[in-house]
Amino acid sequence: MKLKKITACVLAATMTASLFAGMGVQAESADPEPFTIGFPWDTANTDPTWISIYNNVKAAVEAAGGELVNVETDNSADGLIDNVSELISRDVDGILFMPASDSMLPTVDAMCADAGVYWGTIFRTISDEDIQEAMYSSDWFAGGCHEDDEACAADIVKSMSEMGVTDLGVINIAKGDTSSDLRDKGAAEGAEEAGVNILNTTYDISVTTDMTKTIESYIAAYPEMNGILVLGTYCEAAIPTIEKALADHNKAGEIKVGRIDFESSLGDYLHEGTFHVSYGGQQQIDPLMSAVILVNKVIGTPIVEEGPTNIITPYLELTSAEEAADFNDYFLGDEAVYTADEIKDSMIKYYNADIDMDYMDKLIATFSIADVVSRHSK
Amino acid sequence: MENSKSFTAAKGGLTKEKFLNNFAFFGLLLVLVLFEILTRGKLLGQRNLMNIFNNFFSIALCAMMYSFVMALGELDLSVGAIVGFSAAMAAFASEISIYLILPVALITGLLIGLINGFATAYLRVESFIGTLAVSFVFRGLTTYFLNGSVGIPIAMRAFDKDWVKIIALLLVLTISYLLYERCAFGKHCRAVGASHEAARQSGVNVQKTRMAAFALVGLVCGLVGFFTLVRACTASSKTGNSFEFDVLLAVLFGGMPLSGGWPVKFRAAVIGSIAMAALKSGMSLIGIDGLTQQVVEGVILIAVVVLSFDRRNAGVIK
Amino acid sequence: MNENDKCLFRAEKIRKTFGSVHALSDFDITIQPGEIRGLVGENGSGKSTFSSIIAGIQKCDSGKMYLEGKEYLPTGTVDAINHGISMVVQEQGTISKISVAANIFFGKEIMFAKHGVLNVKKMNEEAAKALTDIGVDNIRPEMMIDKLTFEDRKLVELARALYTSPKIWIVDETTTALNVSGRELLYQLMEKMKASGGSILFISHDIDEIMEKCDSLTILRDGFLTADLKKEEFEADKIRQLMIGRELSDHYYREDVDANPKKEVVLETKNVSCDILSDVSVQLHRGEILGVGGLSDCGMHTLGKVLFGLIRPDVGMVLKNTREEVKCAAWATSHGIGYVSKNRDQESMMIICSIKDNICLPSLKDITPVGPVSVKKQKQLAETWAKRMEVKADSVNVFCNILSGGNKQKVVLAKWLGKGSDILILDCPTRGIDVGTKAAIYQLIEKLKKDGKSILLISEELPELIGMSDRIILLKDGRISGEFHREEGMTEAKLIQKMI
C-alpha cells in the first residue's frame, strides 16, 4: 500500500513539473516565421527509395527555414488519421502525407480545418469527383503533386511491346488505391493499342516471398508469358526478387521485365540485360514539389492564389545501365534532387516573387536525370 | 488485491514478490516519468493526452476483454484481422443503410470470435495456431472483398467524438470488470487457466467457457472495428494491421502471465493499455525512428514475459 | 569434530518460515553412511520442506548443512544432484508430453548431444539400461510418458534418481504412489543402495513400513524435532504419539456393523462399457457407503469418472435417481454429485489459487445465480468450511501451493461440502495423507453417512474399504468380480480372493 502511495506522489510531481516544462521562449528570425511541417512516414522501411522520399521532403521544408516533424505510420487510412491527430496536437503548421484512399480525405480536411492546419498530399490525385470538388474548395488543402499514371502505364506497355513482348504478366499495388487503378487503366489501354495480351494482374504483394511465389506461378501457369510488368508495388527489393525467381527457372533475359517507379538495383540488371525498361524518377521530385507547395501555402505565399496547387510531375525513362548508375548516385543518395539554395531561389515564392504556375511548369519540364547530374556535379 | 496482500505479507523474498506483483505499475510509472522528462513535459500536456487517449481507446477496449482469454492461458492472434474484417463488412452494410454499420460490425466480430472459440474449445486446436489461421483467412477475405478500400458516408464521423468513446469505454470497462472480477464467468475462466481438469471436475463447463471468452473478444473487436471505421470513414485491407501485437504487448506489459489462471489480474489490462499508449506516444514525440521503436517494443516484450513468468506454475520441472 | 567426520550428512538448526507459519524450527538431523533413516511426522510437520531444502528446491532461512564434513549449500536441484543428492517425490514428478528416456535424462541431454544434435538412439539405449538396472523391464524408453500409468511413471522417476548413483537418496512418500510390486522393487533398491554404502532418507506415513525398513528414525512435529530413535527403540504407539503429540486410538475406522441400507437408488450405472470397463452395473443407495476395490488397473478409477460424467460410456448409461441421465461433470455438479480425484494436485484442485477460490468454484452459481457473485458470501462460505475442515492456513486467501498434502485434501473436501453435494465419489481420498488427517476424513465420511449422504469410496487399501464400507464391490479386469456386505463380515482374505 505504501508503495502505491509513493508511486502516486511521484506521478503527481511529474504532472506538476510538466506544467512548467515546455514553456521555452522561441527565437526570432528574419526570414519567414519559423514553421513546422508534419510528415507521417514509415521510417522503419529501409528501402532506398523510401528513404529518399523522406530526404527530399525534409530538404524542401528546411530550405525555407522550417522544421520537419516525423511520425511513424503504416500508411493505412485509420493509421494516417491517428497520425494527423497526433501532428495537430504537436502544433504543426502543415501536414503532408500519402493518402490511402479518397474517402479518408474529408476526415483529414475536417480535422485540419478545426485546428487551422494546412495539408497537402504526395503521389496521389483525387479521383472521386464529389470528394475532389469538396477538397478543392477547402481553404486548408494546399494541393500536391501527382503523375499522369494512366499515360505512364500506357507508354511502358507500348515500349515493352516494341521490345517484342506479346504476353504480359502484371503486378500492381492494390485495387482501390488511386495510382494503382489509374495505372491499371492505362496499361489496359496501352495493351489494346499495341496488341499485347495481359495474362493476369496480382495485387497487394508486400513481402518478397509472396513476390517469388507470384512470379513462379506465372511461369508455371503461362508458358507463353514473355514479359513481366510491375506497375507498382510496396514490396521491398521487388526487382531483385523477380530476377532471382526468373533466373531460378532459366528465364532471365528471356522474359522482358519492366517496372514503373525506379529502384536502386535496376542498373545491375540493365547491365546484365535481364531487366529492360523502367519509368519513374518522380519518387524524388514529387515529394519535394509537394512539400514546396505546402510550404508556400503555410508561409502565406501560395503558388496559386485560388484553390489548391496541383502539379503533374513527369516520369523519366530508364533503359541503360549508365542512366541507372546516375540515378542511384544522384536520386537515391543522401541529397535531395534540388539543393537547398536552388529550392530557396526558384521554388519559394517568399524569396522569388516571379513564381507562379507557369514558372513551376517550366522548371519541371527541365527536370531529367542529366539535369540533376549537371546541377549536382557543379 | 486480497491475494497480493497475503502474499506480500510473506517474509521470504518480500521485496521481490512485491515488485513482481506490481511491476506493471512500476513499468507504467517508468514510462511516464522517463518520457515526461525526455519530451520536456509534452507527453502529459493537455493536447497530447488526447492522443494518448485515442491510442489507448481501441487497445484498452480489446485488452479488457482479452483478460478472459489470457486467464484461460490462451492467446488470440486474430484480433487485428477481426477489426479489419468487421470494419469491411460494416462498410459494405453502409451502402444498404447507415443504421446497419454498428450491428453488422458487432455481429461479424462475434461470429469470428465464435469460430475461434469453436476451434479452440471443440476442435482442440492450440489457440495461438487456430487464431493465427483464422487471422490469415479473414485478412485474406478482407483484401479480397475490399479490393483496396471502401468508404462510408462522411456523416458517420459524428460518432468519432470523445464523449461517445468515453461512454463506450466506460460501458465495456464496467461490463468486463464485473464479468471478470465478480461474476462466475470470470472465475471460471481463471479456473480453466489454472487447471482445466480441476475446473472440469468442479463442474465448470470448460468448452462453453472457452467459447464464450473468444466470442467476447470477437464482439469487442467488432466494436473496435466500428470506431476505426467511423474515424477514417474508410475500411481498407490495412485496417487493424498489427493490432493483435499492440493488444498482446499491452496485456503482457500490464503483467498478465502467459500461463493464465488466478495471477491474471484485470487491472493489468487497463494499466498495460495506458502504458502502451504512453510509450508509443512518447517514442513518437521524441522522434525515435520506426526501426528503433520496433526494437524497443521487442525488448519490452521479452522483458515482461520473463518478469511475469510464474515459476510456481513450472513446479513440476525440476 | 569426530562425529562430523563419521557421518555422511548433518544439518544444524535449520529454520524455514512461510508467512507466519514456521515450517521448520531449529531442526537438526544426522545421517550415517549406509543407513536408512526414516523421517516421519504429520502432514504440515515440515518433512517435505526439509527434503526440498536438501534437494536444493528451496533455501532455508537460517541454519547450516554439512555433507561429508564440508559445508553444503545447494544452489539448485542440479547442484544437489552433482553433490550426490537425489530425490523422488510424492506427487507426480515426470514431465508430460515427452518420452520416458527424455524424462530420465531431463536436464542431462547434453550427455548425448554431439555438435548440438541429440543422439536419441544412444539416449534410449542408456535409458533402457537405467531401467533394467533398477529391475524394470516392461517400460520401453521411447514410449511417451503420458501412456504410462501413475505407478509406472513413479518407476521412471526411480530410474532417473538412481542413474546418477547418489550418496543420499531421498524417498519422499513415494510408496503411496506405488502398487505392491512397485513397493517391493523400491525396498529392494533401498537395500541395494544401503549395501553399497549409500544412505537413504525415507519419508513415509506408514508406520509399519517405517518400522520394518528403517535403521533409525527422526520424528517431526509442527516443525520441531521431537525424537531421534534407534531401531531397537521402535514401537508403533510410541512413534504415533510422538508424531501426533497425543494419544491416538487404533480404531479410526467405523465400529458399527449395521449397514442400515435404504432401498432408494441415487446413482447407478447400467451395463456400462468403456475403456477397460465392460458391462458394469453398480447401484449406490441413499445413505450408503459403497466401497469399490480391486487392483489398481482394474477399472475402479474409471468407474468413478464415469459416474461423475467425466467419461461418457460407450455402451450403457449412468442414471441419477433411476431416471435422469448424468450428461457431463457440469451437470453432475449442479445435481448434487461431488467427486474427489485420485490425482489431487492435477485434477481436484487449482494449486496456484487461493483456498477461497478453490472452495467457492462449484458453488458460485448457488451463491448468486445470475450477475455479480457476492464477495462477502464467498468469503463466508470459504471461511466456514475451511474452519470446519480444520484447514491449517493463515487465511482463506493463502494460495494452495504452500499447503501440505493433507490440508490440500481438506480443501478439496470442503469444496464439495460447501456445495452441499448429496452424493460424493471419493477416489482414494486418503492417499498420501498423514494419520491425523486420515482419521479426520474417516470421521467425516461416517458423519456424512449419518446425515443421509451417499458415498462411493474407491480405494486401493483393503483395510480402509473393510473399515468404512457398508458394501464392497470388487472389480477385476473391468468386470464386477464380487460383492460383500458389512453384515456378513468382510475379511481381507475373502476380498483378495475375488481381486486376483
Q: What is the pLDDT of residues B79-111, one digit of tens each?
A: 999 999 999 999 999 999 999 999 999 999 999
In this prediction, residues A199-226 reach a mean pLDDT of 91
CB-based contact, B294 to chain A, within 8 Å: yes
Residues of chain C with pLDDT under 50: 1-4, 249
- Whether A289 and A365 share a structural domain: yes
pLDDT reading at A189 higher than 50? yes
- Whether A236 and A306 share a structural domain: no
Q: What is the structure's pLDDT at A29? A: 45
Q: What is the structure's pLDDT at A214? A: 93
- Helix, strand or coil, per DSSP, at residue C427: strand
Residue C373 C-alpha, separation from nearest chain B C-alpha, in angstroms: 5
Q: What is the structure's pLDDT at A22? A: 42
pLDDT reading at B10 higher than 90? no
Q: Are the C-beta atoms of residues A99 and A80 closer than 8 Å to each other?
A: yes
Q: What is the structure's pLDDT at C360? A: 94
pLDDT reading at B72 higher than 50? yes
Average pLDDT over chain A reads 86
Chains with at least 3 CB pairs less than 8 angstroms from chain C = B
CA atoms within 13 A on the CB side of B1: 6
Q: What chain A residue is nearest to B161 in terms of C-alpha separation? A: A111
- The amino acid at B162: D
- The reply to whether C265-499 shares the fold of C2-244 is yes
Could you confirm whether domain C2-244 is CATH 3.30.200.20?
no
- Whether A155 and A270 share a structural domain: yes
- Whether A303 and A264 share a structural domain: no
- Does the beta-carbon distance from C351 to B315 stay under 8 Å? yes
Q: What is the structure's pLDDT at B4? A: 38
Between A170 and B27, the more confident residue is A170
* Chain B residues in contact with A7 (beta carbon < 8 A): 25-26, 29
Q: What is the structure's pLDDT at B16? A: 56
**Which of A21, A77, A82 has its CB closest to that of B54?**
A82
Last residue of a domain, one of A280, A296, A329: A280
Residue labelled with grid coordinates 462475434: B110
- Whether A257 and A153 share a structural domain: yes
Q: What is the structure's pLDDT at B136? A: 94
Residue C329 C-alpha, separation from nearest chain B C-alpha, in angstroms: 5
**B248: Cα separation from own chain's centroid:** 6
Q: What is the structure's pLDDT at C20? A: 62
- Whether A167 and A144 share a structural domain: no
* Chain A residues in contact with B92 (beta carbon < 8 A): none
In chain C, domain spans = 2-244, 265-499
pLDDT in tens, A101-153: 888 899 899 999 989 999 999 988 888 888 899 999 999 999 999 888 888 99
pLDDT reading at B260 higher than 60? yes
Q: Which domain holds residue A249?
A: 149-280
Between C17 and A219, the more confident residue is A219
Domains contained in chain A, number: 2
pLDDT in tens, A68-100: 999 988 888 888 998 998 899 888 999 999 998
In chain B, domain spans = 61-289
- Domain C265-499, architecture per CATH: 3-Layer(aba) Sandwich (3.40)
- The verdict on residue A293 lying in a domain is yes
Q: Do A and C share at least 3 CB pairs under 8 Å? A: no
* Chain C residues in contact with B191 (beta carbon < 8 A): 350, 353, 357, 361
CB-based contact, B86 to chain C, within 8 Å: no
Q: What is the structure's pLDDT at A113? A: 92
- Whether A139 and A161 share a structural domain: no
Chain A, chain B: beta-carbon pairs less than 8 Å apart = 156
Residue A18 C-alpha, separation from nearest chain B C-alpha, in angstroms: 4
Residue B110 C-alpha, separation from nearest chain A C-alpha, in angstroms: 22
pLDDT in tens, C313-330: 999 999 999 889 998 999
CB-based contact, B202 to chain C, within 8 Å: yes
Q: Phi then psi for B10, rounded to 5 degrees?
A: -60, 140
* Chain A residues in contact with B152 (beta carbon < 8 A): 103
**Which of C93, C372, C399 has its CB closest to that of B178?**
C372
Residue B148 C-alpha, separation from nearest chain A C-alpha, in angstroms: 4
Q: How confident is the model at residue B250 (pLDDT cuts 50, 70, 90)?
A: very high
Query: What whole-number percentage of chain B has pLDDT above 90?
Result: 52
Close Cβ partners of A304 (under 8 Å, ≥ 6 residues apart): A143, A356, A357
Between C182 and A54, the more confident residue is A54
CATH number at residue A49: 3.40.50.2300
pLDDT in tens, A3-38: 666 666 665 566 555 544 444 444 444 577 889 999
pLDDT reading at B249 higher than 80? yes
* Chain C residues in contact with B186 (beta carbon < 8 A): none
- Give the burial string for C344-363 (b: 16+ CB within 10 Å, else e): bbbbbbbbbbbbbbbbbbbb
* Chain B residues in contact with A42 (beta carbon < 8 A): 290
Residue B139 C-alpha, separation from nearest chain C C-alpha, in angstroms: 33
- Does the beta-carbon distance from B234 to A44 stay under 8 Å? no
* Chain C residues in contact with B11 (beta carbon < 8 A): 17, 19
Rounded CA-CA distance B286/B38 in Å is: 7
Q: Are the C-beta atoms of residues C54 and C168 closer than 8 Å to each other?
A: yes
The string of DSSP letters for chain B reads: -HHHHHHHT-STTHHHHHHHHHHHHHHHHHHHHHHHHHTTT-TTSHHHHHHHHHHHHHHHHHHHHHHHHHHTT---TTHHHHHHHHHHHHHHHTTT-GGGHHHHHHHHHHHHHHHHHHHHHTS---HHHHHHHHHHHHHHHHHHHHSSEEE--GGGGGG--HHHHHHHHHHHHHHHHIIIIISHHHHHHHHHHH-HHHHHHTT--HHHHHHHHHHHHHHHHHHHHHHHHHHHSEEETTTTTTHHHHHHHHHHHTT--TT-STT--THHHHHHHHHHHHHHHHHHHTT--HHHHHHHHHHHHHHHHHHH--GGGGTT--
**Which of B12, B190, B315 has its CB closest to that of C17?**
B12
CB-based contact, B94 to chain A, within 8 Å: no
Q: What is the structure's pLDDT at B184? A: 92
Chain B, chain C: beta-carbon pairs less than 8 Å apart = 120
- Does the beta-carbon distance from B149 to A176 stay under 8 Å? yes
pLDDT reading at A61 higher than 90? yes
pLDDT in tens, A305-342: 888 999 988 888 888 888 888 888 888 888 888 988 89
Name the most confidently modeled range: A37-41, B7-11, B23-27: A37-41
Q: How confident is the model at residue B316 (pLDDT cuts 50, 70, 90)?
A: very low
- Whether A61 and A89 share a structural domain: yes
Report yes or no on whether pTM surpasses 0.95.
no
- Whether A51 and A135 share a structural domain: yes
Mutate which: A70, A73, A76, vs B, most B CBs within 10 A: A76
What are the distances in angstroms from CA C431 to CA C176, C458, C464? 6, 11, 11
- Does the beta-carbon distance from C346 to B6 stay under 8 Å? no
CA dihedral sign of residues C101, C107, C110, C111: negative
* Chain C residues in contact with B258 (beta carbon < 8 A): none
Q: What is the structure's pLDDT at B312? A: 52
Average pLDDT over chain B reads 86
Between C243 and A207, the more confident residue is A207
Last residue of a domain, one of A280, A301, A326: A280
* Chain C residues in contact with B310 (beta carbon < 8 A): 352
